[in-house]
Structure 1
Amino acid sequence: SMETNKRNYFGISQGLIKFHPKQQYCLTAECIEAAAAVLSKINQSVDPCDNFYRFACDGWIYNNPIPEDMSNYGVYPWLRHNVDLKLKALLEKPISKRQDSEAVQKAKILYASCMNENKIEKADVKPLLSILRHSPFRWPVLESNIGPEGLWSERRFSLVQTLATLRGQYSNSVFIRLYVAADDKVSNRYILKLDQASLSLSSREDYLENTTEAKSYRDTFLQFMVDTAVLLGANASRAESDMKSVLKLEVKIAEIMIPYENRTSEVMYNKMNISELSAMIPQFDWLGYIKKVIDTKLYPELKDIGPSENVIVRVPQYFKDLFRILENERKKSPHFCLNSFRGVFPCGQQESLVSGTFISSKQFYCLLQIHSPLSLV
């Protein structure tokens, strides 16, 4: 039978690997370490024909429990953590003008300034309030505290400008994730890709499930938003009302996000030019957004991007639903509860709300500020 053949195949394969008399083995320290790493991740007591997932992953799951400050965990977060440890060691070395390039020197200065908690505490919320007085980031909930120069105006508000400024200047993707990567079907060419952006909580399920845990995440997140607004000078009752609207908006967006299991390579490969994208989703100025995000002073060769530029739209249906939701929100509320505050919150604490706690390490937050923009280079 097919089942018997599969078992025989695994048995014969394992036998050849273990007992082939002419097999040449690599016994260097690196090979032994790699072999030990593989063995530590598998469960040899499980028959791979019965449960290949447990055979391949049990060891890793057992040895790597989900950290207390995270709602999910996997090989990629584990790898990111290990890279961060090495990056931290490099950034904490003294600046050497002779050996360090200008980019490395700037990265070390940025990391050191981020870690300077005394200076940050002394500055308090003044730098953030200064940003929130800028037109793209004016926050209606702060109108009673921020002064006439910071008043929000629906007439002056530009969704394109706000999202582009968040992405271009603060490396923060709100609603839309724009990035450059290899074309999935022409791997030697790079192309612009558009995808759904992540929300404030760790997963889509945290917004949609009615479990005690998911509800506690939402409650904690709501309280964090209210507390932050009040800290910046908002009226408490106004802050609670507005932040409830923001949370409702994020729940609506979570409902339309494409779940992980449906994000297959074929489904997400939708290649078209910007003109075609604009015809498909006319509610948003796609070309204007892309041109505002790209730093043409730094990359002058990109200043001529036009309607004929090809892009890969990974989630067309999400974008159609997104702008329908945003249009309805704009009609319902004169202040349009945009969650753009996520791009300028101090310390990015909203990014790691789990069990009512904030980011576990100041160092890893500062590392995030370094490698997030650097990954775009």
Structure 2
Amino acid sequence: MYIVHLEDTSTSPDSRGLELAQVYYASCTNEHEIDKLALKPLQDVLIRMFEGWRLLPPGTPGSRSDLEDPFTPQKFDLTDLIGRFLQFGHGIDIFQLLVERDPKNSSRFSITLAPGVVSMQPEYYLETSDLKITRIVQYFKDFMRNYSIMLGVEESQLGALEKVFDLETQIAKV
């Protein structure tokens, strides 16, 4: 809704603030470059951070070059994954590691393992009787599905997204 106001330059803006926001938005938006790049930046991130996404068909941009499951105990390295997240400026969403002063002894520090951060507010995963929240959850699931399809995930693989949502629900319960 707000993007519509920023892109609409056919009428005079309601306020000086909106006018400045429109100028700023226009200066940051190179539509030709965005159209040219399409999904390539996202596909590149999938390769850099995760060595590709298993849900994408082999050989498509952003897919894994091998068919092995990277989450087997022999292959998966949580320390390596955390390192890649931090290297590319992302946080660790599955859990939080905090270094803080020990509340019992202020001259010492302790490492605290705290619950992770999920894509939506935790109550959205847990409250299933509120119609407004149910709609928001459905919009989120549609967003996951639509972007997955845009990236090239086949219909037969889309069920895995529900498992991702279930994992986030479990994290929200912590």
Given the two structures, how large is their TM-score scaled by the length of structure 1?
A: 0.33
Aligned partner of 1:122 among 36, 57, 79: 36
> How far 1:191 moved relative to its partner?
6.0
How many angstroms apart in 2 are the aligned matches of 1:117 and 1:200? 28
Q: Deviations over 1:259-297 (max 9, x none)?
A: xxxxxxxxxxxxxxxxxxxxxxxxxxxxxxxxxxxxxxx
Partner of 1:138: 52
Partner of 1:149: 65
Q: 1:135 to 1:205 in 2, by over 3 A?
A: closer
Q: 1:225 to 1:150 in 2, by over 3 A?
A: farther
Pick the structure with greater CA Rg: 1
Unaligned runs of 5+ residues in structure 1 are 1-67, 70-91, 93-112, 257-377
Q: Please show how residues 53-202 of structure 1 align to structure 2 within 5 Å.
A: 115-118=28-31, 119-134=33-48, 136-144=50-58, 145-146=60-61, 149=65, 151=67, 153-154=69-70, 155=72, 156-181=75-100, 183=101, 185=103, 192-201=111-120
Q: Deviations over 1:156-202 (max 9, x none)?
A: 44333223321342222221223455x2646687765432221001x
Q: 1:148 to 1:167 in 2, by over 3 A?
A: closer
Given the two structures, how large is their TM-score scaled by the length of structure 2?
A: 0.65
Q: Tell me which of the two structures has the higher relative contact order, counting C-alpha pairs closer than 8 angstroms and 6 or more residues apart.
A: 1
Conservation of the 8 A alpha-carbon contact between 1:207 and 1:218: yes
Write 1 or 2 for the structure with the bigger share of helix: 1
How many angstroms apart in 2 are the aligned matches of 1:173 and 1:117? 31
Partner of 1:254: 172
Conservation of the 8 A alpha-carbon contact between 2:49 and 2:84: no
Q: Please show how residues 280-319 of structure 1 align to structure 2 within 5 Å.
A: none
> How far 1:212 moved relative to its partner?
1.0
Q: 1:137 to 1:191 in 2, by over 3 A?
A: farther
What percent of counterpart residues are identical?
Answer: 24
Unaligned runs of 5+ residues in structure 2 are 3-23
> How far 1:233 moved relative to its partner?
1.1
Conservation of the 8 A alpha-carbon contact between 1:138 and 1:151: no
Q: 1:179 to 1:137 in 2, by over 3 A?
A: farther
- Number of positions where the alignment pairs a residue of Structure 1 with one of Structure 2: 147
How many angstroms apart in 1 are the aligned matches of 2:148 and 2:97? 28
Partner of 2:18: none
How many angstroms apart in 2 are the aligned matches of 1:232 and 1:204? 27
How many angstroms apart in 2 are the aligned matches of 1:177 and 1:169? 17
Write 1 or 2 for the structure with the bigger share of strand: 2
Partner of 1:217: 136
Conservation of the 8 A alpha-carbon contact between 2:122 and 2:172: yes
Conservation of the 8 A alpha-carbon contact between 2:47 and 2:64: no
RMSD over aligned Cα atoms = 3.7
- Verify: 1:236 aligned to 2:155, yes or no: yes
> Which amino acid in structure 2 is aligned with residue 230 of structure 1?
I
How many angstroms apart in 2 are the aligned matches of 1:124 and 1:187? 51
